[in-house]
Structure 1
Amino acid sequence: MNHDAQDLPGALPLEKASPSLIVEALKAVAGHPPGVRASFAKGHCVRGRYEPSAEAGSVTRSKSLTRPAQVLGRFSVGGGNPHVADTNGLVLRGFSVRLSNEASSNFLFENAPVHFARTLDQMLAFLRARIPGPDGKPDAERVKAFSEANPETLNQARFVAARALPASFALTTYWGVHSFPATSETGATRFIKFKIVPAGGNATFSEAEIPGLGADFLRDDLEARIQAGNVRFDVIAILDRPGDDCSDVTKRWSDEDERPGVVLGRITIDALEPNGTCDASVFDPAGLAEGIGHPPDEIFAARSPAYRISLSKRS
């Protein structure tokens, strides 16, 4: 029997991947639910404020990060299924943020420090390997073969699977998986990675506690913590070192967790916002105030057009 190269287990697609094909594949993996985001479909819109630290200017001259700003945010659960249970510990938690003053910047964070694909072609092949068949399940052998041929695509899943179920959006650490060129107030430029650390520390549930949780417990917890004034995060810049790979989003920098970070400021979430406020547009990652540049990897370059294609499909 003859096979096209793109149909062989572990192979990358023959056709060049594009943002539109990525969105199509994300929707297919989720079963084409109508009117929702292609990824992180389940979410909750919030409002708050950002206060910069005195040290922010040593890293970036971005007005979004060096001056007080209003925050529009969205906490979310990964995947394209808007009804995914919050008890599913194998999908990501996300936190999208727009900081607005005289400038505006959008930042995208998730509770894993790496992405699941290095290139757009690899991302498309990863997703296509997981599109469900007639039985509603992906072909396990195809997924296994692709993973064996592309082992770096498991880095994200392994990171998430090794950790207990997050107990709260407000008590979870988030990362920006990309390396951003940041220019300081003195004009010096270096790469940074973002890390968002909850002021109250991290909290998780044990396996024994999960059966007693509701499918939407994260929203209930979020509402209670906002009312109590307990949703605060430090925005931290992890600084690069010579030799760091700034283009491969499937890899972490060496000793990344041990490096001293610079606290740029604090985000405080004050209120839940109607989801329509966040759903009317996208948190376009290309929208960054001067002082934070675009990362050099091709996954980031595809995000902005992919988000806009996804918005057009759900509008």
Structure 2
Amino acid sequence: MPKPPTRTVTPASIVEAMRAPSHGPSDARASFASGQCVRGTYLPSNRASEITKSRSFTTPCRVLGRFAVDGGNSGAADADRRMLHGFSFRLGSNGHRSDILTQSAPVHYARTLAQMLGFLEVRMPGPDGNPDPAKVAAFSAANPETLHQADHVSARPPTASFAGTTYWGVHAFPATNAKGETRFIKFKVSPVGGDLVLSEDEARAQPADFLHDDLKIRIAAGDVRFSLMALLDRPGDPVMDVTIRWPDEDHREAVRLGTIVITRIAPNDACDAISFDPANLAEGIGPPPDEIFAARSTAYGLKLLV
């Protein structure tokens, strides 16, 4: 059965494998290529300082964000239920900025960089334009944790709106409060008003860009709000493995750090000109210890993912 590659794997080789199926330009996003830039504000809760002393999360600020559909194809259909949706945003100012990257599934599809490259390589299109199903099945059997993300996506109904989707940060971040107390947290971004979903028939009837169009209509009619939550760790939680959830994650203690209020659509140039770099973390939020985060940070730093 196929195992993850044993050769040296680099962030650059991962990005190359991500770009290969889309045949996109070398300066294009390798993932979440189809997106919409937005602006708004962040209003901290009175409990944010209990979790972190980071001024990104404890001080009101402006927000630059981007909603997107996964994949390297900037023309990806919004209605494809197999696609992840992402929400990246930047909080803070004056040297206290943090970039947070979240997605519509609570886990990643690989635990290690080698496993991630193996996952991507067996899904490369063959001469007929499709991956070899036998290779995919064999790799999945040898690496069952690589199916957790897809299983989560397939078990949920199609989303009706970027503004009505729950987004997770799959990594465990060490957060330090003003008392010097440090614990791991996971970010969860919950739409105020709850998730908005479609039936399968409704999803199939939607035009290709319906999520982008819906977002513009909703913002024109009024602001879009999300609660930024910190899920709190417990002893023994798996902070190194991004393919599995914390036990009872949906029902454990969480603290609302604040509210993200999206107030207007922004030109995509505003987001294209920067990189939402996960390594940008203001003091009080540390880098997660897992291997995937370290590689992701390097890739963004090298402008391989933007």
Please indicate, yes or no, whether the TM-score normalized by the shorter chain is above 0.5. yes
| Pairing 1:59–2:47 present | no
Q: Which residue in the other structure is 1:15 paired with?
A: 7
* Distance across 1 between alignment mates of 2:195 and 2:242: 24
Q: Which residue in the other structure is 1:232 paired with?
A: 225
Please state how far the C-alpha of 1:74 moved relative to its aligned partner: 0.4
Listed one character per residue, the Cα deviations across residues 150-172 of structure 1 (whole Å, up to 9, x for unaligned) are 00000000000001110000000
For structure 1, the 5+ residue unaligned runs are: 1-8
* Distance across 2 between alignment mates of 1:92 and 1:198: 16
Task: Tell me the secondary structure at the aligned position of residue 200 of structure 2.
Answer: coil
Task: Tell me the secondary structure at the aligned position of residue 49 of structure 1.
Answer: strand
Q: Which residue in the other structure is 2:280 paired with?
A: 287
Please state how far the C-alpha of 1:33 moved relative to its aligned partner: 5.0
- Contact 1:172–1:197 under 8 Å retained in 2: yes
Listed one character per residue, the Cα deviations across residues 138-191 of structure 1 (whole Å, up to 9, x for unaligned) are 111101100000000000000000011100000000000000000011110000
Please state how far the C-alpha of 1:260 moved relative to its aligned partner: 2.2
Task: Pick the aligned partner of 1:255 from 228, 248, 253.
Answer: 248
Aligned partner letter, 1:82: S
Aligned partner letter, 2:282: A
| Pairing 1:241–2:234 present | yes
Q: Which residue in the other structure is 2:127 paired with?
A: 134
Q: Which residue in the other structure is 2:203 paired with?
A: 210
- Contact 1:282–1:311 under 8 Å retained in 2: no
Please state how far the C-alpha of 1:35 moved relative to its aligned partner: 4.3
Alignment of 1:141-290 (within 5 A): 141-290=134-283
| Pairing 1:38–2:30 present | yes
Q: Which residue in the other structure is 1:86 paired with?
A: 78
- Contact 2:278–2:300 under 8 Å retained in 1: no
- Contact 2:175–2:284 under 8 Å retained in 1: yes
Cα RMSD (Å): 1.3
Q: Which residue in the other structure is 1:297 paired with?
A: 290
* Distance across 2 between alignment mates of 1:168 and 1:33: 28
**How many pairs are equivalent?**
305
Please state how far the C-alpha of 1:121 moved relative to its aligned partner: 0.5
Please state how far the C-alpha of 1:211 moved relative to its aligned partner: 2.9
Q: 1:33–1:166: structure 2 CA closer, same or farther, 3 Å change rule?
A: farther
* Distance across 2 between alignment mates of 1:19 and 1:29: 17
* Distance across 2 between alignment mates of 1:233 and 1:176: 14
Aligned partner letter, 2:84: L
* Distance across 2 between alignment mates of 1:310 and 1:122: 22
Q: Once superposed, which parts of structure 1, at least 4 consecutive aligned residues long, lie more than 3 Å away?
A: 31-35, 308-312
Task: Pick the aligned partner of 1:307 from 297, 300, 305.
Answer: 300
Listed one character per residue, the Cα deviations across residues 84-113 of structure 1 (whole Å, up to 9, x for unaligned) are 101100010000001132311100000100
Aligned partner letter, 2:126: G
Q: Which residue in the other structure is 1:99 paired with?
A: 91
* Distance across 1 between alignment mates of 2:51 and 2:3: 41
For structure 2, the 5+ residue unaligned runs are: none
* Distance across 1 between alignment mates of 2:263 and 2:22: 32
Listed one character per residue, the Cα deviations across residues 31-89 of structure 1 (whole Å, up to 9, x for unaligned) are 34564200111110000110000000000000000000110000000111111101100
Q: TM-score, normalised by structure 1?
A: 0.94
Aligned partner letter, 2:19: K
| Pairing 1:113–2:100 present | no
- Contact 1:46–1:271 under 8 Å retained in 2: yes
Task: Tell me the secondary structure at the aligned position of residue 247 of structure 1.
Answer: coil
- Contact 2:38–2:264 under 8 Å retained in 1: yes
